[in-house]
Amino acid sequence: MPTIAFDALDYRADQSFAAARYRFDGDERTGWRIDRDGVTALQLGPGFRLLRVRQCGVCSTDLARHHLPFPLPQVIGHEVVAIDAEGRRYVVEINASHHARGIANDCAFCRAGLPTHCPERTTLGIHDLPGGFGAWILAPIEGCLEVPANVPDSAAVLVEPLAAALHAVTTIAPRAGESIAVLGPRRLGMLVIAALHAYRSSHSPQDAFTIAAVARDPRLLALAKQFGANSTHPAGSLADGAFDVVIDTTGNPAGLESAVRMARREVHLKSTHGQPSVGLHHTTELVVDEIGIARFPDAAPAAGEAPWERLRTGPRPRIAWLANATPPPWLPAQVDVQRGTAVALAAHYGSATEGLPRADVVVADSAAGVDAAIRPQAGREVALVRPRGQVLVLAGARRDASLAASPLLAAVTTRHLELSSSRCGDFRAALQLLAADAELRRIGDRLVTHHFPAMALREAFATARSPDCIKAVVDQPEAGASA
C-alpha cells in the first residue's frame, strides 16, 4: 500500500496559513486514510488516484474560501496540473462524485448526468479533499485527464477555469447580433472572453455577436482586446441596458448589481465570493447549484414552451409553490404543484423515488422565498430546487417590498430580465480546444503574471489580490515529498 508524507500549508477560517504534516495511506482499490499532524482527518473510499502536483493556479474562489460553507482548515487549490508515477501529466476534474471515482452506485444525480452535483461528492481543494497547494493530491480516477503533448503546463494549469468559461458561454447561448459583455475580466473573465471568441469563430458569420470587456484597469482592457473583445469600456461609464447579456466574473458582490443594471436580456453569474448580493443571501450557493432566476409566466405557456418542461426529471414537472398567492387554475393541469414551507417541501421531494429528489422549479414572491429555494435549511447545503433548475418569481399587484428592494428581483419582475449561472465545465472540451488552437495555447504566457513556491502562499494570496496581478500560479518543487 502506498504511503506518502509531506508538509503543506492549511488555509484557516481567519485567512491565515498554518504548516501541517500530511500522510496519505491506501490505494485506488481499497481507499485512503488522510492524517493531519498524526490525527486521522478524512477516510476516503475507493476510486482515488495518487498524483504529485506540478502547478496550481490561484483563483477568486481560493481568495474567498473563508466565506464558503465548507469546513476549514484545509489544503486548498483546485486548478491543478499533476503527474503520476510514470511522469504522465494530468489535469483533474475537481468533483469526486461516484461517477468520477468510477464506482457502482444508485445516485440519482450521477444517473441523471449531473455528477458534478452529486450530494455525496467531495471537491478538490474546496470541500474536504486536500487540494493542489499541497505537494500531493488524491484525485477521482475518472476525473484524471491526460494533457496532450502539445499543451504546455502554462496552458494546462488554466484548463479548470477555461472549462468553466466554456460552460458559461454555452449556457447563455449567444444569439446572432447580440452584444455580450464580460464584467471584471481578470482571472476567469479573460478566459470567458477567449471562450466567447472561440465559440464565435466556430459558428457561421451570420450567427456573429459582439464581445465587450468592462473593467476598471486600463491594462486589462488592452489585454481583453488580444483575447478577442471587439470593444472595451471603463467600469462605471455605461448606461443602463447597454448590453444584451452581461457575464459577471468580478468575484465582488457589487459586480452583480452592476451587471443587472447593464443587461437587457440576461445576466450570467460566475462569481462565488460567499457574500450577500442584490438583496439575496445565497448567490454563491445559487452558482454552486447552477440555478437560474426568471419571472413566472403571466399566462399559461403554449405547449412545449413552459420552462418546467425542459427541467423535469420525473413523470411530471414538479413545482414547489412558496408564494402566498394561489397557483393559477391552469397550472395543476400541466404540473405536479405542491404548496408548503420550504423545509417541508424539501422533505417531501427528498423522498421521491423517481427523478431527482428535488423540485424542478420553485415559485417564490419574495427575496426570502428565493433564498429559501436555494438553501431551505440553515446549516445544510441542500437546495429545494434541483441543480440547473429555476426559481420563478411571481409578480403581482401586491408585490412583496423585498422584490422592489432587490435590484435583481426588481429587474426580473419589471423588465423580465433573466439570471443564469454556471460552475464547472467540460475539461475534455477545454483540452481539445487547447490542443487544436496554437494561439490559445499561449494563453498562460499572456495571463499568468506571477509564480510562487508552494510554501509562499501568504505572498501568493496577497499578490493575487493586488491590481498588479492578473493570474498567480503556485509551483511545487520536483521533489515535493518524502515517503
Residue 482 predicted with pLDDT over 60: no
Q: How far apart are alpha carbons 137 and 22 in whole angstroms? A: 11
What pLDDT, on a 0 to 100 scale, did the predictor assign at position 397? 60
> What is the pTM (predicted TM-score) of this model?
0.93
Residue 1 predicted with pLDDT over 80: no
Which whole number is the average pLDDT over 64-76?
93
Q: How far apart are alpha carbons 473 and 101 in whole angstroms? A: 27
Q: How far apart are alpha carbons 11 and 19 in whole angstroms? A: 9
What pLDDT, on a 0 to 100 scale, did the predictor assign at position 293? 98
Mean residue pLDDT across the chain = 94
Instruction: Read off the pLDDT of residues 375-431 as tens digits, 9 standing for 90 and up.
Output: 999 888 899 999 999 999 998 766 789 999 999 999 999 999 999 999 999 999 999
What pLDDT, on a 0 to 100 scale, did the predictor assign at position 336? 94
Residue type, 164: A
Q: How far apart are alpha carbons 483 and 481 in whole angstroms? A: 7
Instruction: Read off the pLDDT of residues 444-481 as tens digits, 9 standing for 90 and up.
Output: 999 999 999 999 999 999 999 998 999 999 999 975 44
Torsion of CA 61, 473, 190, 167, to 10 degrees: -60
Which whole number is the average pLDDT over 139-148?
97
What pLDDT, on a 0 to 100 scale, did the predictor assign at position 213? 97
Q: State the pLDDT confidence band at 351, using cuts at 50, 70 and 90.
A: confident
Torsion of CA 430, 172, 310, 108, to 10 degrees: 40
Which whole number is the average pLDDT over 202-207?
86
Residue with cell 417541508: 344
Identify whether 69 is preceded by a cis peptide bond (ω within 30 of 0): no
Q: State the pLDDT confidence band at 272, using cuts at 50, 70 and 90.
A: confident
Cell numbers at 374, concatenated: 436555494
Q: How far apart are alpha carbons 292 and 29 in whole angstroms? A: 39
Residue 142 predicted with pLDDT over 70: yes
Classify residue 33 as exposed, middle or buried by CB count within 10 Å of its CB (0-12, 13-18, 19+): middle
The answer as to CATH 3.40.50.720 being correct for domain 163-421 is yes
Bridge partners, 92 (sequence order): 144
Residue, of 274 and 412, whose pLDDT is higher: 412
What pLDDT, on a 0 to 100 scale, did the predictor assign at position 479? 52
Which whole number is the average pLDDT over 52-56?
98
Q: What is the largest CA-CA distance in the chain?
A: 69
Instruction: Read off the pLDDT of residues 299-335 as tens digits, 9 standing for 90 and up.
Output: 999 888 899 999 988 888 999 999 999 999 999 988 9
User: Helix/strand/coil (H, E, C) string of the chain?
Assistant: CCEEEEEEEEECCCCCEEEEEEEEEEECCCEEEEEECCEEEEEECCCEEEEEEEEEEECHHHHCHHHCCCCCCECCCCEEEEECCCCCEEEECCEECHHHHCCCCCCHHHHCCCHHHCCCCEECCCECCCCCCCCEEEEEHHHEEECCCCCCHHHHCCHHHHHHHHHHHHHHCCCCCCEEEEECCCHHHHHHHHHHHHHHHCCCHHHCCEEEEEECCHHHHHHHHHHCCCEEEECCCCCCCCEEEEEECCCCHHHHHHHHHHEEEEEEECCCCCCCECCECCHHHHHHCCCEEEECCCCCCCCCCCHHHHHCCCCCCEEEECCCCCCCCCCCCCCEEEECCHHHHHHHHHCCCCCCCCEEEEEECCHHHHHHHHCCCCCCCCCCEEEEEEEEECCCCCCCHHHHHCHHHHHHHHHCCEEEECCCCCHHHHHHHHHHCCCHHHHHHHHEEEEEECCCHHHHHHHHCCCCCCEEEEECCCCCCEC
Which whole number is the average pLDDT over 143-160?
97
Residue, of 304 and 50, whose pLDDT is higher: 50
For residues 408 and 280, is the Cβ–Cβ distance under 8 A? Answer: yes
Which whole number is the average pLDDT over 88-97?
96
Residue 483 predicted with pLDDT over 60: no
**Region(s) of the chain under CATH 3.40.50.720:** 163-421
Residue 294 predicted with pLDDT over 90: yes
* CATH classification (class only), 3-157+438-475: alpha beta
**Parallel, antiparallel or unpaired: strands 17-27 and 418-421:** unpaired
How many beta carbons lie within 10 A of that of residue 253, not counting itself? 16
